Amino acid sequence: MSKLLVERCARLCIWELIREKKLDAKSLLSSGSLDVTINIKVGILETEKSIRETLYFTYSNTNFNGRRVWFKCPYCNRRVGCLYIPFYSDKVLCRQCHNLAYSSQNLHRNRFLDYFQKFERKQKKIEKKLDNKWLRIPTKMKLICSFLDITNKAKEEMPKILRPFRKYLTR
């Protein structure tokens, strides 16, 4: 099953919120939690939803006797910088608890690799068969032809598979 992308979800990033002065790091550390109402637009239709949630905070020590504030995921208790709300859920959880994929680029890259590996595997199989020194010439020719067929098929399908990357390829 393909995962929902992080970019498709509403996101709360703690340092962003502090930078924008929507949260105050000092008071977060003293209280440890905060009841909030989050108004977000979600999904393709951008329907608005309002979520009441208690956010929990924790901290790590920095090199210079300072403290860095983090969200605590309410489900796994891990310390995280960002919490997410997918369109199908009212839960404010970390990326892993929502099972979200990190970025569209990574997904494309995997699909890209899968594609080439598929052809590579087929060609390796043929190469193995060709290593057999007892093979008769007609059989050898047949195998070489199917090896070339695979190469041609990969070339034919190339534009289709490259479509999502077009924006990276043109300048």
Number of residues this chain uses to bind Zn ion (CB under 5 A):
5
C-alpha closest to that of 140 among 131, 150, 153, 151:
131
Q: Does 14 bind Zn ion (CB under 5 A)?
A: no
We find the least distance from the C-beta atom of residue 91 to Zn ion, in angstroms, to be: 10
Nearer to Zn ion, 96 or 117 (CB): 96
Q: Are 162 and 148 in contact (CB under 8 A)?
A: no
Closest distance to Zn ion from the beta carbon of 121 (Å): 36
Query: Using the rule CB under 5 A, is 94 a contact of Zn ion?
Result: yes
Footprint (CB under 5 A) of Zn ion, residues 57-76? 73, 75-76
Closest separation between CB of residue 97 and Zn ion, Å? 3
Please give the single-letter amino acid code of residue 94: C
Stretch touching Zn ion by CB under 5 A, among 20-28, 87-95, 123-131, 134-142: 87-95
Please, what is the minimum distance in Å from the beta carbon of residue 15 to Zn ion?
18
Determine, following the binding rule CB under 5 A, whether residue 154 of this chain makes contact with Zn ion: no
Give me the residues that bind Zn ion (CB under 5 A), please.
Answer: 73, 75-76, 94, 97
